[in-house]
Amino acid sequence: QVQLVESGGGLVQPGGSLRLSCAASGSIFSINAMGWYRQAPGKERELVARITRGGSINYGDSVKGRFTISGDKAKNAVYLQMNSLKPEDTAVYYCKVNVVTTQGYLELWGQGTLVTVSS
């Protein structure tokens, strides 16, 4: 069984910064990719940033130049540094992991962490 634990959300003023963390634990053979997605009220879930095992990185267009994703293979963790935050970044942020376990290949979502950007 694999568990994801997210942390780091909260309330921040426009222009501020936050750092999200997500760590996977359990019967993990390998992690193929880890990423962050977000869903704002009334909108579809969208890609924020994703990093693969080989180090390839993708960002959603709306966060390029402001957000940075990084990973720690030893800790099975992924981080999202969010700078120059805007009110439109307000959403629930979800960690997603593509992982190989004793049960085979799994795609797992975290419970979500709320980020609110407001003055």
The per-residue pLDDT for range 42-59, each reduced to its tens digit, is 999 999 999 999 999 999
Rounded to whole angstroms, the maximal C-alpha distance in the chain is: 46
The CA-atom distances, in angstroms, between 68 and each of 92, 99, 107 are 17, 22, 22
Task: Give the model's pLDDT for residue 58.
Answer: 97
Alpha helices in the chain (DSSP H): none
For the chain, give the mean pLDDT: 96
Average pLDDT over every residue of 63-78: 96
Give Cβ neighbours of residue 24 (< 8 Å, ≥ 6 apart). Answer: 2, 3, 4, 31, 34, 76, 77, 97, 99, 108
